[in-house]
Amino acid sequence: MRKIHAAISGVYGYVPDYILTNQELETMVDTNDEWIRTRTGINERRILKGKEMGVSEIGVKVINGLLEKTNTSPDEIDLVICATVTGDMVFPDTANIVCDKVGIKNAFSFDINAACSGFLFAFTTGAQFITSGMCKKVIVLGMDKMSSIIDYEDRATCVIFGDGGGAVLLEPNEEEVGFIDAELKSNGVGRHYLHMKAGGSFKPASIETITAKEHYVYQDGKPVFKHAVRGMSSTLKTVMQRNNLSSENVHWVVPHQANMRIITAVANAADFPMEKVMVNIHKYGNTTAGTLPLCLWEWEPRLNKGDNILLTAFGGGFTWGTVYLKWAY
Ligand code: UT7
């Protein structure tokens, strides 16, 4: 019997219409276009505007687009996994809410919180449900509405993040394509450098936490930067060695889009020319769990069956890792 792989049979992405440019940010905080472009590589990012527009609205657009494109009925979906740190509510999981909104009724669904590595963790989890034979059609969604937890008076964070996301449909495949391998890591010591202080059980919301601006992203950028380069590069190399991959036989590297300088450092460390590295950070900034599926969605027309693709990410937790897949169509 041939081995069953979990293969991507479709990808879809969505970014909100509103474009927040570096020039507009210049009018909001003490920053400038030149600093943002040279230190991060970002020119603009998308923002989901409107009252009571939770991240599930991005999920609805993504899943409806994915179902239509892959000619799949909502009834056929067995499982939906949503990677996000900006769920509509603390509970229930946003995956549950999105399923209700798009009419997915026969699936079980849950969220995964691994911050910027969320899509890698969710994708690897979803793949296990396919290879075990438990599910036939799994949607893995990665998305964030970072604007809901960003302090637009804090120049250290507000220039970096944006809103958006994407999803893939996973199905069983016996042609040696799809999910092949993953190296995933976490270390809670990283919580000190990247977190949101209040709103959880540790420090529930209060007048004091709101006044102290503790419901926004806190990031100590420098250590995060160093750990990101180290973590992505080392897992990339581990996965490459384990699977006899080199910069020649890998077709694409899909790095988390956190900072252009991190992306180039990781590409250099693993000896990849930038032509093989997907980059769209200039347009969307860091959409946290959304960056990897947004890249796959944008590059889909250029991908070929059998292409070796490495996805790599680093984020809050700390969490990090690399996934190796072969493109299936
Ligand atoms: O996706 C999850 C993981 N997150 C990441 O991977 C992010 C990793 N970290 C980074 O990408 C970078 O550390 C940042 C982009 C966040 C910051 O870049 P940096 O080169 O580490 O800058 P810095 O924080 O060391 O600040 C350098 C200078 C400071 O001024 P002084 O003290 O040298 O006078 C900052 O106050 O740049 C200043 N600065 C700014 N200036 C203009 C910080 N933010 C800004 C800004 N505009 N937006």
Q: Which DSSP category does 311 fall into?
A: E
Residue pair 86/144 in contact (Cβ under 8 Å)? The answer is yes
**Cβ(315) to ligand 1 under 6 A?**
yes
Q: Which of 128, 157, 178 is the last residue of a domain?
A: 178
Residue pair 209/215 in contact (Cβ under 8 Å)? The answer is yes
pTM of this structure? 0.97
**What is the per-residue pLDDT across 66-88, written as a single tens digit (0 to 9) for each?**
999 999 999 999 999 999 999 99
At residue 22 the predicted structure's pLDDT band, cuts being 50, 70 and 90, is very high
Does residue 177 carry a pLDDT above 70? yes
Q: Which of 178, 205, 228 is the last residue of a domain?
A: 178
Tell me how far the alpha carbon of residue 90 lies from the centroid of ligand 1, in angstroms. 29
- Residue to substitute in 26, 39, 220, 262 for testing ligand 1 pocket (most ligand atoms within 8 angstroms of CB): 39
Residue pair 196/219 in contact (Cβ under 8 Å)? The answer is no
Ligand 1 atom at minimum distance from 159 CA: 48
**Cβ(259) to ligand 1 under 6 A?**
yes
Residue with the smallest CA separation from ligand 1 atom 30 is: 156
Q: In the chain, what percentage of residues exceed pLDDT 90?
A: 99
Of 113, 256, 295, 308, the active-site residue reads: 256
Q: Are residues 262 and 135 in the same domain?
A: no
Q: Are residues 17 and 166 in the same domain?
A: yes
Main-chain dihedrals φ then ψ at residue 138, nearest 5 degrees: -125, 130
At residue 2 the predicted structure's pLDDT band, cuts being 50, 70 and 90, is confident
Of 82, 116, 135, 295, the active-site residue reads: 116
pLDDT of 1: 65
Q: Which of 142, 161, 178 is the last residue of a domain?
A: 178
Distance set, CA 134 to CA 127, 128, 171, 186 (Å): 10, 9, 11, 27
Q: The domain that contains 205 carries what CATH number?
A: 3.40.47.10
Does residue 37 carry a pLDDT above 90? yes
